[in-house]
Amino acid sequence: MVVIKRNPDRFLRELKKHYDLVMRIPSSEYLRNPDFVVVDPKTGKKIKVSFVTLDDGEFAGVVYDETS
Q: Are 52 and 58 in contact (CB under 8 A)?
A: no
Q: Per residue in 21-37, pLDDT tens?
A: 999 999 899 999 999 99
> Closest Cα partner for 24 from 63, 58, 53?
63
How far CA 35 is from CA of 42, 46, 53, 66, in Å, comes to 22, 13, 12, 14
Q: Per residue in 38-51, pLDDT tens?
A: 999 999 999 999 99
Name the band, by pLDDT with cuts 50, 70 and 90, for residue 67.
confident
Neighbours of 58 (CB within 10 A): 8
pTM metric for this prediction? 0.86
The distance between the two most distant Cα atoms of the chain, rounded to a whole number of Å, is 40
Q: List, in sequence order, the alpha helices (H) in 8-61.
A: 8-18
Name the band, by pLDDT with cuts 50, 70 and 90, for residue 4.
very high
Residue 68 has pLDDT above 80, yes or no: no
